[in-house]
DNA sequence: ACGGCGCCTG
DNA sequence: CAGGCGCCGT
């Protein structure tokens, strides 16, 4: 049993799932060995202190079949310090097998989910609930009972024994009751054999269906969900262990109970999270029919100030944010009134073709138009004899290989996704921000836009024609229909960073091409609407070609191109930071964003 | 420490 | 397009 039998450990901020650990390893787990933020944990294994970090996989290459005993869910309380610093610490390697990659793909969402779970746990339990934890050697019966009652109570009302009033405190006081323990174990068994899997979400399945060894039997998803508890045990190789032996000794039984209880807590928290996610039907349908579902929220927006539940009203957000509040722009009153008008028009919804390029209608047309335009552009230009630039373009592409990636992209409003209150997301982005339970409910009422959509992206691209370096204020003004959080702000800033990146790459590419062509004349450096450079930029920022690019952008593009041309021709590109001087020039050429961008709704 | 930016990578 | 990282200014 000394052989390392780690299969894998997934660790989020809220839980540690150790598959294939031996009981000895896990019994050495010290709940107190958690740092205050709950982002890492240490425990004792084979004489070493294993430090576990979030978003990492831990496992050894040992034989998966050997020594597999159980799977532990070690729920981490949020208090305690890492007190084991004096022992050698080893961070286990993470060779990232395929299963890990699969998990990692959704790690972002799981991390968010884990933080939600943390919040809920913070509401439903208090730190230090686990008292002596699962330290088997020190485990006493009383501890287990105590933990049992304390943990179950707030989370599982359905199955709790609530026959008598005040039984809760009473049961805590009543410590040594073996019969009670047995009864409880029976209840747990019954419970796990009747788990209602219908409420399970895909995510929670992923979380609870532990990554397994390759020799695990192939099981269909539905099969795997018939009994999550026993099934997961099967996955860990419980069949190979004499199950009955496990119940022979009392310490083992106690450990199993602790196991079961922690698992139950994990499930309960997971369900709580699910219920929160599911308790927002408006948010879920909001994506599909933005205009329609806005209406119930909007009905009294203009008439009654006290009932401002509009999802476009950023002014009436009192105290829903803690840290990011300073980022919320105070909108002028004019905005509110104009929004009422806009919303009224939206309610009427009788605009056959909206002039607003960010409207839902135009978004729907975008695909067709872009496809048509793309074909048109290709027909008009590319079908002719390949220009010299295209040859250069191919060369440039070979020089600057920038792999096209599958776009993770922003959530499309047409995709039915589980939506979260942006304020909640804010808290997810700021794990140290704890939301009170009542404010959590309040946040739902003041929910604005759930996040940035593809239409927001489209709008941002069009804004780029005016401003390459938008200030945070401009972003907030132009995207006032989203609840501004740090995450949203960062995302918008990142978008423009990406836009600039593409912009400058194109500039450098065309400047080098012009230089190679030996075109020192200014005419060739001119950027007109028919120029290759402009068409490349237009295809990127205005794919649907339904937006009239301002003339100023052409001027700025021309200046940029010349700056690049001059710099390259002067050999400044030998300096690694030669572009910075150009950036400094270009950033001063930003224009004001038209009022339409500030007043119109993106969605 | 934090935010913003640019570069690199996937 | 997003994440990570390093740099820089505040």
- Each residue's pLDDT tens digit, A249-301: 445 555 555 655 665 565 655 565 455 444 443 333 333 333 333 332 332 22
Report how far apart, in Å, the C-alpha atoms of A446 and of each of A181, A316, A480 are.
Answer: 46, 8, 14
Distance A457 CA to C6 C1' (A): 27
Mean pLDDT of A486-510: 94
Contact A360, A291 (CB under 8 A): yes
Tell if A108 CB is < 7 Å from nucleic strand C: yes
Distance A583 CA to C8 C1' (A): 15
Q: Whose C1' is closest to the CA of A411: which nucleotide?
A: C1
Contact A72, A112 (CB under 8 A): no
Tell if A491 CB is < 7 Å from nucleic strand C: yes
Answer yes or no: is pLDDT of A556 > 90.
yes
In chain A, positions 155-174 with C-beta closer than 7 Å to nucleic chain B are none
Mean pLDDT of chain A: 50
In chain A, positions 310-329 with C-beta closer than 7 Å to nucleic chain C are none
Chain-centroid distance of CA A102 in Å reads 15
Read off the pLDDT band of A532 (50, 70, 90): very high
- C-alpha dihedral (A141, A146, A147, A153), degrees to nearest 10: 140
Strand partners, A44: A49
Q: Beta-carbon neighbour count of residue A511 at 10 Å?
A: 24
* The pair of three-digit structure tokens given for residue A203, joined into one six-digit string: 């995510």
Backbone angles phi, psi at A193, to 5 degrees: -85, -10
Question: What's the helix, strand, coil split of chain A in %, to 5?
Answer: 55, 5, 40
Distance A385 CA to B6 C1' (A): 37
For A539-554, the pLDDT digits (tens) are 999 999 999 999 999 9
Report how far apart, in Å, the C-alpha atoms of A216 and of each of A17, A97, A212, A227, A527 are.
Answer: 18, 15, 6, 17, 61
What pLDDT does A170 receive? 33
For A429-439, the pLDDT digits (tens) are 333 333 333 34
In chain A, positions 473-492 with C-beta closer than 7 Å to nucleic chain B are 486, 489-490
Chain-centroid distance of CA A155 in Å reads 26
CA distance A192 to A204: 16
Read off the pLDDT band of A398 (50, 70, 90): low
Mean pLDDT of A35-40: 35
Q: Whose C1' is closest to the CA of A460: which nucleotide?
A: C1
Q: Whose C1' is closest to the CA of A493: which nucleotide?
A: B4
What pLDDT does A516 receive? 85
Answer yes or no: is pLDDT of A240 > 60.
no
DSSP reduced 3-state for A318: coil
Answer yes or no: is pLDDT of A468 > 70.
yes
A509 or A30, greater pLDDT? A509
Distance A351 CA to C8 C1' (A): 49
Residue A404 burial (C-beta neighbours within 10 Å; 0-12, 13-18, 19+): exposed
CA distance A239 to A291: 54
A247 or A523, greater pLDDT? A523
Answer yes or no: is pLDDT of A456 > 80.
yes
Which of the residue ranges A42-56, A145-159, A254-268, A311-325 has the most confident prediction, judged by mean pLDDT?
Answer: A254-268
Residue with the two structure tokens 């390949």: A386
Tell if A322 CB is < 7 Å from nucleic strand B: no
Tell if A548 CB is < 7 Å from nucleic strand B: no
CA distance A589 to A134: 64
Mean pLDDT of A213-227: 33
Mean pLDDT of A23-52: 37
Distance A474 CA to C3 C1' (A): 25
What pLDDT does A500 receive? 96
Distance A16 CA to C2 C1' (A): 27
Distance A578 CA to B7 C1' (A): 13
Distance A556 CA to B1 C1' (A): 36
Q: How far apart are the first and last CA of chain A?
A: 60
Contact A65, A215 (CB under 8 A): yes
Tell if A469 CB is < 7 Å from nucleic strand B: yes
Q: Whose C1' is closest to the CA of A457: which nucleotide?
A: C1
Residue A478 burial (C-beta neighbours within 10 Å; 0-12, 13-18, 19+): buried
Nearest CA-CA partner of A78 in A427, A435, A431: A431
Distance A565 CA to B6 C1' (A): 20
Strand partners, A88: none
Distance A327 CA to C4 C1' (A): 24
What pLDDT does A524 receive? 63
Read off the pLDDT band of A486 (50, 70, 90): confident
Tell if A410 CB is < 7 Å from nucleic strand C: yes
Distance A53 CA to B5 C1' (A): 29
Read off the pLDDT band of A507 (50, 70, 90): very high
A341 or A517, greater pLDDT? A517
CA distance A564 to A580: 11
Helix (H) or strand (E) run with residue A490 in it: helix A486-517
In chain A, positions 374-403 with C-beta closer than 7 Å to nucleic chain B are 402-403
Strand partners, A51: A42
Which nucleotides on strand B sit less than 7 A from a protein beta carbon?
3-10
CA distance A139 to A577: 62
Answer yes or no: is pLDDT of A16 > 90.
no
Read off the pLDDT band of A243 (50, 70, 90): very low
Question: Quick one: three-class SS letters along A128-192?
Answer: CCCCCCCCHHHCCHHHHHHHHHHHHHHHCCCCCCCCCCCHHHHHHHCCCCHHHHHHHHHHHHHHH
What pLDDT does A393 receive? 67
What pLDDT does A161 receive? 32
Q: Please give the protein residue whose CA is closest to the C1' of the nucleotide B2.
A: A486
E-only strand ranges, A216-324 = none
Q: Whose C1' is closest to the CA of A410: which nucleotide?
A: C1
Read off the pLDDT band of A517 (50, 70, 90): confident
Please give the angle made by the CA atoms of A410, A413 and A418, to the nearest 5 degrees: 85
> Please, which residues have CB within 8 angstroms of residue A222's CB and are 6 or more apart in sequence?
none
> Please, which residues have CB within 8 angstroms of residue A529's CB and are 6 or more apart in sequence?
A549, A554
Residue with the two structure tokens 């707030």: A154
What pLDDT does A542 receive? 94
Which nucleotides on strand C sit less than 7 A from a protein beta carbon?
1-3
Q: Whose C1' is closest to the CA of A107: which nucleotide?
A: C3
């Amino acid at each position: 049993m000394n052989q390392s039998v780690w299969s894998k450990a997934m660790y989020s901020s809220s839980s540690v799932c150790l598959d294939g650990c031996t009981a000895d390893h896990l019994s050495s787990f010290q709940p107190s060995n958690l740092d205050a933020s709950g982002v890492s944990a240490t425990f004792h294994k084979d004489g070493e202190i294993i430090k576990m970090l979030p978003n990492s996989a831990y496992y050894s290459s040992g034989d998966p079949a050997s020594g597999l005993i159980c799977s532990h869910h070690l729920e981490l309380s949020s208090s305690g310090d890492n007190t084991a610093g004096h022992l050698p610490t080893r961070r286990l390697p993470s060779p990232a097998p395929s299963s890990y990659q699969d998990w990692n793909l959704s790690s972002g969402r799981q991390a968010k989910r884990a933080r939600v779970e943390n919040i809920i746990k913070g509401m439903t339990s208090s730190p230090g609930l686990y008292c002596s934890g699962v330290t088997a050697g020190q485990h006493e019966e009383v501890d287990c009972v105590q933990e049992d009652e304390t943990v179950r109570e707030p989370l599982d009302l359905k199955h709790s024994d609530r026959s008598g009033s005040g039984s809760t405190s009473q049961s805590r006081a009543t410590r040594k009751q073996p019969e009670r323990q047995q009864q409880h174990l029976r209840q747990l068994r019954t419970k796990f054999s009747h788990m209602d899997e219908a409420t399970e979400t895909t995510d929670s399945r992923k979380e609870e269906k532990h990554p397994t060894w390759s020799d695990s039997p192939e099981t269909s998803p539905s099969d795997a969900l018939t009994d999550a508890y026993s099934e997961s045990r099967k996955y860990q190789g419980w069949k190979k262990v004499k199950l009955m032996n496990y119940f022979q000794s009392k310490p083992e039984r106690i450990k199993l109970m602790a196991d079961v209880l922690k698992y139950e807590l994990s499930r309960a928290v997971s369900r709580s999270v699910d219920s929160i996610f599911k308790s927002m039907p408006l948010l879920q349908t909001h994506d599909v029919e933005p205009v329609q579902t806005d209406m119930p929220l909007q009905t009294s927006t203009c008439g009654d100030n006290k009932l401002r539940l509009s999802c476009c009203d950023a002014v009436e957000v009192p105290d829903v944010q803690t840290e990011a509040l300073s980022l919320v722009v105070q909108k002028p009153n004019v905005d509110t009134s104009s929004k009422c008008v806009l919303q009224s028009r939206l309610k009427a919804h009788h605009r056959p073709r909206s002039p607003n390029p960010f409207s839902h209608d135009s978004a729907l047309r975008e695909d067709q138009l872009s496809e048509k335009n793309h074909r048109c552009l290709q027909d008009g230009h590319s079908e002719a004899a390949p220009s010299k630039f295209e040859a250069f373009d191919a060369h440039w592409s070979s020089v600057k290989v920038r792999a096209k990636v599958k776009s993770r992209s922003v959530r499309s409003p047409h995709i039915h996704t589980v939506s979260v209150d942006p304020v909640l997301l804010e808290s997810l982005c700021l794990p140290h921000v704890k939301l009170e339970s009542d404010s959590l409910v309040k946040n739902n009422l003041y929910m604005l836009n759930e996040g940035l959509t593809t239409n927001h992206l489209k709008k941002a691209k069009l804004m780029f024609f005016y401003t390459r370096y938008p200030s945070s204020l401009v972003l907030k003004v132009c995207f006032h229909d989203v609840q501004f959080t740090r995450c949203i702000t960062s995302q918008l800033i990142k978008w423009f960073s990406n836009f600039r990146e593409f912009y400058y790459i194109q500039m450098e590419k065309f400047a080098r091409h012009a230089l190679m062509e030996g075109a020192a004349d200014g005419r060739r450096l001119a950027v007109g609407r028919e120029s290759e450079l402009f068409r490349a930029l237009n295809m990127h920022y205005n794919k649907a070609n339904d937006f009239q690019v301002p003339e100023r952008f052409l001027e700025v593009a021309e200046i940029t191109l010349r700056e690049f041309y001059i710099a390259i021709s002067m050999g400044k590109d030998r300096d690694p930071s030669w572009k910075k001087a150009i950036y400094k020039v270009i950033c001063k050429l930003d224009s004001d964003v038209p009022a339409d961008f500030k007043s119109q709704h993106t969605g």
